[in-house]
Amino acid sequence: MEGNDISEMWNDASRWKTGDKWRSFGWNVIEIEGHKIEQIDAAISKANSTKGIPSIIIARTIKGKSVEHMESNPQWHGKAPDSDTVPIINLELDSQFVIAPSIIAGDMTHLENEIKRCVTGRADYIHLDVMDGKFVPNKTFDHNKIKELRSLTILPFDSHLMIDEPVKHVKEYVEAGSDIITVHAEVCDESSFGEIHDLLKHNQVGVGLAINPDTELPVWSYKFIPTLDQLIVMSVVPGKSGQKYIEETHEKMKRLNVILNEHQFSGYIEADGGVTLENAGSCFIDGARCFVGGSAIIGQKDVRGIINEFRIHILKARRKILLDKAYQLGGSTLVKKWIDLHIIGEKKEHIRKIAAQEGYL
């Protein structure tokens, strides 16, 4: 991480001088975002490969990270939440989400630059749409391009294989450095997906299954649901970016959630296709926790700004889910208590507004 990234993450810029102190002692200083597992992993490898001088890894973390009313709030240092708010806090912790720009919506002749735009844009994942010209009419790139791009970033590569006979090719995408590999149910059956599943698990690569808008989750896939890491629910007909979100997907997600709950799904749903600022909140409420953005994100000039906007929109949708939970558990009393946990300001006003709109106060 470079200076401005670090100081931006912490209002009090003085704290990021810690690294300079250790540099003045002659140490190899590695400063990372401590909430990103891939950065911790890369930092440990970097420290292990540094010889001749001692290394220190400074992992920047935010106190109370992921619980809005606790984040960076010193009053929660060493303090336990009241038991009646714990189920709401657990729901908040279980509702983390990631943003995955789809780079084919950028300049296909300079994909290395699109990777850089994702990194500086603070994406969580990079969504790589592999198209073979057979499963879908278009061709984009294959594992060779992924291998080439791999060394540019440690951000997780979310490889979406829109290819025929994936069982024959999946190994190449593992070797190219994919962190998650998703294949389409339309070109698999129980046996071939079983082979893919086992290969990916063996190589500690995330196992993903994708279904097209007109495909229901096949019954043969139910046995894999408990160990599936990612389910891509396509909200456009695969083949290109820039298409309009298919509204029927919202209804489909309701049907899917019933099946996933019945089969102990512990992975996350990825919304892929036509996702925009306008519909991201409703995709979140449908159950999506990974948001692919092609034209709506990488197709925009200010990637960091738009990813930040996406996060704000999705956080607003999440606040409603948390208030619903508070009301369900403890009526207006608990809703009021939940609201008052939040420090005076824009977040608290927004939460109060939702509660009033829902008639919870």
Gap between the Cα atoms of 62 and 210, Å rounded:
34
Closest CB to ligand DX5 among residues 8, 278: 278
> Which residues, numbered 101-140, are part of the site for Zn ion (CB under 5 A)?
129
| Contact flag: residue 229 with ligand DX5 (CB under 6 A) | no
For residue 221, the minimal CB distance to ligand DX5 (Å) is 19
Site for Zn ion, residues 260 to 289, rule: CB under 5 A: 272
**Which neighbouring-strand residues pair with 165?**
none
Binding flag, residue 127, ligand DX5 (CB under 6 A): yes
Q: Determine the Cα–Cα distance for residues 128 and 247; give it in Å rounded to an integer.
A: 24
What are the helix (H) ranges across 219-302? 249-262, 277-286
Annotated active-site residue 272? The verdict is yes
Q: Which is nearer to ligand DX5, 16 or 245 (CB)?
A: 245
Neighbouring C-alpha atoms within 13 Å toward the C-beta of 326: 28
Let me know: does 53 contact 27? Beta carbons within 8 Å. Answer: yes
**How far is the CA of 52 from the CAs of 27, 30, 44, 47, in angstroms?**
10, 15, 16, 11
* Catalytic member of 129, 158, 229, 324: 129
Contact segment (CB under 6 A) with ligand DX5 among 46-54, 64-72, 102-110, 343-351 equals 102-110
In the residue annotation, 142 being an active-site residue is answered as no
Shortest CB 357 distance to ligand DX5, Å: 29
**Burial per residue of 268-285, b for 16 or more beta-carbon CB atoms within 10 angstroms, e otherwise:** bbbbbbbbbbebbbbbbb
Q: Point out the residue whose Cβ comes nearest to ligand DX5.
A: 294
E-only strand ranges, 215-335:
230-234, 268-272, 288-293
For residue 162, the minimal CB distance to ligand DX5 (Å) is: 6
Residue 106, interface with ligand DX5 (CB under 6 A)? Answer: no
- Rounded to whole angstroms, the Cα distance separating 313 from 291 reads 12
**Interaction site with ligand DX5 (CB under 6 A):** 102, 104-105, 127, 129, 160, 162, 236, 238-239, 241-243, 272-275, 292-296
Residues contributing to the site for Zn ion (CB under 5 A): 129, 160, 272
Catalytic residues: 129, 272
